[in-house]
Structure formats: structure tokens, C-alpha cells
């Protein structure tokens, strides 16, 4: 059996980092981990090939080679997914589809032969068994959340690593919290299920042996969802593993309550974590209560963020505008809050209701749904009718927030606010020619041609004098800023 694993193309979005990746000659931010995991669960003797459309084209000869196409996607890749399915069908290939897009909306894909939905740990084996007997059904689904302690190491060898900026791995699934707008708990449950440290070390060893020294993204819904296992099993194993190794800084997603646990933050930085994404959402306690974001309520969120930064973890943040409690004052409050926090990578979106969330059900019940979730929560779109504010005011206000935050003046100011606070990480990526070239490209595009040139040079000199150890990070931020402005110009401004 010959299996062609296909990953559709991402549009140019906030998280695609497409405009930044050009500086380091990479094509995509991270590899399709779901497909590599599924590949490792298929019979060993089956031949497998991966085509990630974010790094290369899909050729007719790829389709002619295969017996089955296995496609994975998230909502934001919908458009490219339709095109791929049409090509596979035209080439006479059977299509098997799984992953979050299909789990949420498989009914929208009439041309797919088999849907293997939810977590493959539950649904793939029954599909393969039926396939062997020539009795494969159309839909395989499960409402159980499997243990992931037997999930195999992803088939790293299928990936052309040099095309990616980051490699991702996964330690846990699920999140103990219950935010109204988030579909993570609907997809993966409240009880975080974790792998063993042995599994993770095997995965890291695999990457290290293949020569990977660049960042590794732990794509957990909330890495600190099960603090006990993290503290007692994973982090000690990572700290030990790291001894004598070069590079491979880690980043991940966690909740703000990490700020209460100095010891845990120290263990994380010792283990090699240097960046965390946190759903900060809003400075408004009424809105936090409305969406049941209890973990963020009644806290000084700016002080929390600074504490995390001082511990050596860069904070990237998600922010939402358009809660029922939001009034037009929210626009300026969000701007002030984000500027003060020094969260450079601030993903600000309008509140949207993805299918499967409690918010979706509430909006449907109240007749406030206007369609489906676009899949990209920074495109300025929403599928809900706001309560307090007129839609026009909301849209205009949102645009103004994004424009203000990403204007070179405010963006570079935030970078400086952050660099002043941040404790430099011990783990750095070995310096390669490509990074030096990226620096010279940044001089050309940002320091000479770009509108931001004054800010760029000011940042360079400020960093050289005040935080020289963070020089590479400052350049990275300058390049990210360029990407964010390109994306915002296209979609929002
Ligand atoms: C890593 C990640 C990203 C990475 C990129 C990932 C990449 N290149 O593949 C980044 C940060 C770029 C990202 C961005 C976004 N993401 Co994202 N992301 C994730 C995250 C945290 C982990 C995905 C992952 O690798 N999981 C690990 C693998 C092993 O799991 P998996 O892919 O689900 O695969 C399993 C099964 O689904 C199944 N399976 C998967 N594919 C297939 C295929 C076949 C054929 C079969 C049989 C089975 C199968 O088997 C696997 C093993 O069980 C998930 C949340 C989550 N826990 O899954 C959200 C998630 C996928 N993202 C989501 C969203 C919405 C986004 C954004 C749109 C968010 C935004 N804020 O704008 C952006 C858009 C991306 C873009 N470029 O524009 C949603 C998708 C919802 C949906 N219904 O599609 C999720 C589920 C989070 C959520 N809150 O709901 N994301």
C-alpha cells in the first residue's frame, strides 16, 4: 500500500509567519505533526510520503504513485483542502480525511471517501481493520479521550526539516479550564492526558539525531494542565536530557497561573523553555467572568506577565475584543494594557464562536449567529452579532487597535519594554550563516528600505548598549514586526 500524506496550504495569516520566514529562507513555521503521528500508526510495511503544500507543490506524479491520500487540516486551510480533494478525486485516488477541520465539519466534504475523525488513537485501528476486510465505512468517530501513553514517535524521517523554522512535538492533550469560546475542551476534554517522559525523550532524541538544533514547539493546549506530572516527571527528565546538548530552545502554551509558581517557572527555564503563549484575553474583569476565564480573574495581569518575563519566559498573548460586556472604552484599554505588558506578539482578535463551543450554543440559542467561524481569528471577522456595540463601531474600533499596536512606533516601544524586563535564556541556537545573512537582509529591508528604519536603528543601538545578550532576539522582533505589518495591511488596515 502506498500512502500519500497531504497537508494543505495555510493562507497568509498572523501565525503563518510567511513574511518573516523569508529572512531565514524557511518555508513554513512548523511541520504537520498530526500526519506524522498518523503515519507512525500505519502498518510499517506500507510506503509513506509526505507532501506539505506549505513547503512544496503537489505534482501529478505524486498522485499517480499513491493508492490512498491521507489529508489533515484545520479550518483555516479549508480552501486549499477543497482543491486538493478535487485533484485527488480527478486522479482516481481514494481520500481519507482526519484532523480538526474534518472533526468539526465533515459534512461539508461530500467527496471524501473515509473520515477518520477525533483522535486517531481511537478511530484509526477500526478503520484499518475494516479496510483490510474491504469493508471500510465512511465515518469513524469516537467520543472517548484516549490515553496517549502508547502514541508512537512521529515519523520524523518523512519531513524535510530544513524547510521549517520549528519542529513541534506534543506532551499532553486537554485543558482543565472551561473558557466559553474555546473548543479545546470539546475536542480534547478537561482532564489533561500526558505522555511519559520516556516518550518525549525518544521524540527529542529522534530530532536531535537528525541534526535538529532549532526551536521545538510543545503544541500542548496547556502544558501546565497537569502540574504534578510536569514537575515530577517531564521537567526533571528534560533538565537531565539537556546536559551536554546544543540549541533546541522550547516554547509552548500555558495559562497565566504559572505566574504564581516561581519554582515551576525556574524548572521550565532550566529545562530550556524560553517562550510561552498565554490567553490573556482582556483587562476587563466583567468580560473575563462572562467567558468563564476564571484563571485570569481578579489578578494584576500586567504584573503577572512581567513576573513571567523576569523568570526568563517571553510571553506571547492572545487578546479578544467583542465580549457582551465590552463597551467602546475597551479599545483604548486594550491598547494601554498590551503596551504596558510588553507582550510583543499580541494576537488580537474579535470574539468568534467556533462550532462545538458553549459560546456557539449560546449564540445559536439567542439568534446571534451569522455563519461559521472563519478559522483565522485575526482577520477582523466574526460570526456573532455583538450585544452592546454596533457592528460598525466594533469593526472600526478593532481596526484602530490593531493599527495602533502594530504601528512601528508602538511596536518597537513594546519590544523595548519587553527587553528591559526579560531575563536572557541560557539556551541559544548555534549561530549559523543563515542567521548572519538574515541580519544583513533585515538591514536592507527594515533599516534602509522600510518605513520603520528610524525605529529599527534606535532598537539596534539601544540593545547593543543596554542588553547586548538579547541582540539576536531584538533582530527577530524587528523581522516579526515586518511580518505582522504585512499581514495586517492585507487583511485589516
Ligand atoms: C500547533 C497548533 C498550531 C500551529 C501550527 C500547526 C501546524 N503547522 O500544523 C500554529 C501556531 C501555527 C497554529 C495556528 C492556528 N491554529 Co492551531 N493549533 C495547534 C494545536 C495547539 C496543536 C496541533 C497539533 O499539532 N496537535 C498534535 C497532533 C498530534 O494532533 P492532531 O493534529 O489533532 O492529530 C491527531 C488527530 O486529529 C488525528 N488526525 C490529524 N490529522 C489526521 C489525518 C488523518 C488522515 C487521520 C486518519 C487522522 C488525523 O490523528 C492525530 C493523532 O490523534 C491545536 C490544538 C490541538 N490540541 O490539537 C490547535 C488548533 C489545530 N488550531 C486551531 C486554530 C483555530 C488555529 C488558528 C486559526 C488560530 C488563530 N489564532 O488564528 C491558527 C491558524 C493557522 C495559520 N497559519 O493561520 C484550532 C483548529 C480548529 C479547527 N476546527 O480547525 C485548534 C484545534 C485549536 C483550537 N482552539 O480549537 N496552530
Write out pLDDT tens, residues 418-445.
999 999 888 777 788 888 999 999 999 9
State whether the beta carbon of 326 lies less than 6 angstroms from ligand 1: no
Q: What is the pLDDT of residue 108?
A: 95
Of 140-149, 180-189, 272-281, minimum mean pLDDT range: 180-189
State whether the beta carbon of 154 lies less than 6 angstroms from ligand 1: no
Q: What is the pLDDT of residue 380?
A: 82
Distance 100 CA to ligand 1 centre (A): 6
State whether the beta carbon of 136 lies less than 6 angstroms from ligand 1: no
CB 223 within 8 A of CB 265: no
Cα torsion 62, 64, 69, 73 to 10°: value is 40
Q: What is the pLDDT of residue 489?
A: 82
**CB-count burial class (<10 Å; 0-12, 13-18, 19+) for 367:** exposed
Q: What is the pLDDT of residue 372?
A: 72
Distance 223 CA to ligand 1 centre (A): 15
State whether the beta carbon of 192 lies less than 6 angstroms from ligand 1: no
Q: What is the pLDDT of residue 318?
A: 97
Q: What is the pLDDT of residue 46?
A: 98
Per-residue pLDDT at 375 exceeds 70? no
State whether the beta carbon of 322 lies less than 6 angstroms from ligand 1: no
State whether the beta carbon of 124 lies less than 6 angstroms from ligand 1: yes
State whether the beta carbon of 375 lies less than 6 angstroms from ligand 1: yes
pLDDT digits (tens, 9 = 90+) for 243-290: 999 999 999 999 999 999 999 999 999 999 999 999 999 999 999 999
Which atom of ligand 1 lies closest to the CA of 318? 71
Q: What is the pLDDT of residue 179?
A: 95
Which region, left, alpha or beta, applies to residue 381 given φ > 0 means left and ψ of -120 to 50 means alpha?
beta
Specify the residue for cell string 506530572. 229
State whether the beta carbon of 29 lies less than 6 angstroms from ligand 1: yes
Which residue is closest in CA terms to ligand 1's atom 50? 120
Average pLDDT, the chain: 94
Which atom of ligand 1 lies closest to the CA of 356? 83
Distance 99 CA to ligand 1 centre (A): 7
pLDDT digits (tens, 9 = 90+) for 322-340: 999 999 999 999 999 999 9
Distance 74 CA to ligand 1 centre (A): 6
Per-residue pLDDT at 453 exceeds 60? yes
183 vs 215, higher pLDDT:
215
pLDDT mean over 104-131: 97
Q: pTM of the entire structure?
A: 0.96
Pocket test for ligand 1, best of 6, 50, 100, 281 (most atoms within 8 A of CB): 100
Cα distances from 224 to residues 153, 249, 292, in angstroms, run 22, 18, 19
State whether the beta carbon of 251 lies less than 6 angstroms from ligand 1: no
Per-residue pLDDT at 97 exceeds 70? yes
pLDDT mean over 391-405: 94
Q: What is the pLDDT of residue 94?
A: 97
Distance 222 CA to ligand 1 centre (A): 14
Per-residue pLDDT at 493 exceeds 60? no
Q: What is the pLDDT of residue 425?
A: 85
- The C-alpha atoms of residue 104 and residue 354 are separated, in whole angstroms, by 9
Of 138-152, 448-462, 476-490, minimum mean pLDDT range: 476-490
Pocket test for ligand 1, best of 10, 74, 200 (most atoms within 8 A of CB): 74
Which atom of ligand 1 lies closest to the CA of 277? 11
Residue 462: φ, ψ to 5°: -60, -45
pLDDT mean over 42-54: 98
State whether the beta carbon of 174 lies less than 6 angstroms from ligand 1: no
State whether the beta carbon of 99 lies less than 6 angstroms from ligand 1: yes
Per-residue pLDDT at 367 exceeds 60? yes
Task: Write 235-243 long-range contacts (CB < 8 A, 24+).
Answer: 235/264, 235/267, 235/268, 235/270, 235/271, 236/197, 236/267, 237/197, 237/198, 237/200, 237/201, 238/197, 238/200, 238/271, 238/272, 239/267, 239/270, 239/271, 241/201, 241/204, 242/270, 242/271, 242/272, 242/427
pLDDT mean over 222-242: 97
Q: What is the pLDDT of residue 402?
A: 94
Per-residue pLDDT at 376 exceeds 80? no
Distance 313 CA to ligand 1 centre (A): 23
State whether the beta carbon of 459 lies less than 6 angstroms from ligand 1: no
- The C-alpha atoms of residue 289 and residue 312 are separated, in whole angstroms, by 30
356 vs 93, higher pLDDT:
93
CB 48 within 8 A of CB 42: yes
Which region, left, alpha or beta, applies to residue 12 given φ > 0 means left and ψ of -120 to 50 means alpha?
beta
Of 199-208, 318-327, 374-383, 482-491, minimum mean pLDDT range: 374-383
pLDDT mean over 206-213: 96
Q: What is the pLDDT of residue 492?
A: 66
| Cβ-based neighbour number of residue 147 at 10 Å | 11
Specify the residue for cell string 468563564. 292
Give strand pairing partners of 68.
Answer: 3, 94
Amino acid at each position: 500500500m502506498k500512502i500519500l500524506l497531504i497537508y494543505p496550504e495555510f493562507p497568509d495569516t498572523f501565525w503563518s509567519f510567511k513574511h518573516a520566514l523569508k529572512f531565514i529562507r524557511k518555508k513554513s513555521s512548523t511541520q504537520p505533526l498530526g500526519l506524522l503521528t498518523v503515519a507512525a500508526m500505519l502498518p510499517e510495511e506500507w510506503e509513506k510520503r509526505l507532501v506539505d503544500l506549505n513547503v512544496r507543490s503537489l505534482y501529478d506524479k505524486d498522485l499517480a504513485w499513491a493508492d490512498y491520500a491521507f489529508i489533515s487540516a484545520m479550518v483555516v486551510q479549508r480552501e486549499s483542502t477543497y482543491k486538493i480533494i478535487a485533484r485527488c478525486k480527478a486522479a482516481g485516488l481514494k481520500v481519507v480525511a482526519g484532523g480538526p477541520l474534518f472533526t468539526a465539519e465533515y459534512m461539508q466534504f461530500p467527496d471524501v471517501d473515509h473520515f477518520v475523525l477525533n483522535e486517531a488513537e481511537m478511530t484509526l485501528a477500526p478503520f484499518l481493520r475494516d479496510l483490510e476486510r474491504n469493508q471500510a465505512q465512511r465515518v469513524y468517530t469516537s467520543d472517548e479521550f484516549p490515553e496517549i501513553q502508547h502514541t508512537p514517535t512521529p515519523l520524523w524521517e518523512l519531513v524535510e526539516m530544513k524547510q521549517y523554522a520549528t519542529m513541534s512535538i506534543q506532551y499532553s492533550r486537554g485543558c482543565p479550564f472551561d473558557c466559553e469560546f474555546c473548543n479545546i475542551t470539546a475536542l480534547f476534554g478537561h482532564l489533561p492526558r500526558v505522555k511519559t517522559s520516556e516518550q518525549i525523550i525518544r521524540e527529542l532524541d529522534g530530532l536531535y539525531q537528525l541534526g535538529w538544533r532549532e526551536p521545538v514547539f510543545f503544541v500542548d493546549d496547556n502544558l501546565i494542565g497537569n502540574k504534578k506530572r510536569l514537575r515530577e516527571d517531564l521537567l526533571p527528565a528534560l533538565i537531565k536530557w539537556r546536559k551536554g546538548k546544543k540549541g533546541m530552545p522550547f516554547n509552548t502554551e500555558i495559562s497565566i497561573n504559572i505566574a504564581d509558581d516561581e519554582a515551576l517557572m525556574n524548572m521550565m527555564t532550566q529545562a530550556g523553555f524560553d517562550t510561552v503563549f498565554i490567553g490573556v484575553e482582556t483587562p476587563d474583569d466583567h468580560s473575563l467572568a462572562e467567558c468563564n476565564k476564571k484563571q485570569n480573574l481578579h489578578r494584576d495581569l500586567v504584573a503577572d506577565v512581567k513576573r513571567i518575563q523576569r523568570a526568563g519566559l517571553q510571553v506571547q498573548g492572545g487578546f479578544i475584543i467583542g465580549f457582551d460586556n465590552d463597551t467602546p472604552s475597551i479599545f483604548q484599554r486594550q491598547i494601554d494594557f498590551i503596551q504596558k505588558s510588553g507582550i510583543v506578539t499580541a494576537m488580537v482578535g474579535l470574539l468568534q464562536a467556533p462550532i462545538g463551543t458553549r459560546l456557539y450554543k449560546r449564540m445559536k440559542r439567542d439568534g446571534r449567529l451569522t455563519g461559521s467561524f472563519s478559522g483565522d481569528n485575526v482577520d477582523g471577522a466574526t460570526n456573532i452579532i455583538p450585544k452592546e456595540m454596533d457592528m460598525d463601531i466594533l469593526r472600526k474600533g478593532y481596526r484602530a487597535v490593531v493599527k495602533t499596536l502594530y504601528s512601528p512606533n508602538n511596536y518597537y516601544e513594546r519590544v523595548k519594554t519587553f527587553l528591559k524586563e526579560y531575563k536572557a535564556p541560557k539556551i541559544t541556537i548555534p549561530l549559523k550563516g543563515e542567521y548572519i545573512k538574515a541580519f544583513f537582509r533585515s538591514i536592507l529591508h527594515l533599516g534602509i528600505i522600510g518605513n520603520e528604519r528610524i525605529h529599527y536603528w534606535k532598537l539596534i543601538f539601544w540593545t547593543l548598549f543596554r542588553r547586548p545578550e538579547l541582540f539576536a532576539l531584538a533582530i527577530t522582533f524587528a523581522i516579526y514586526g515586518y511580518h505582522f505589518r504585512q499581514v495586517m495591511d492585507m487583511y485589516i488596515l
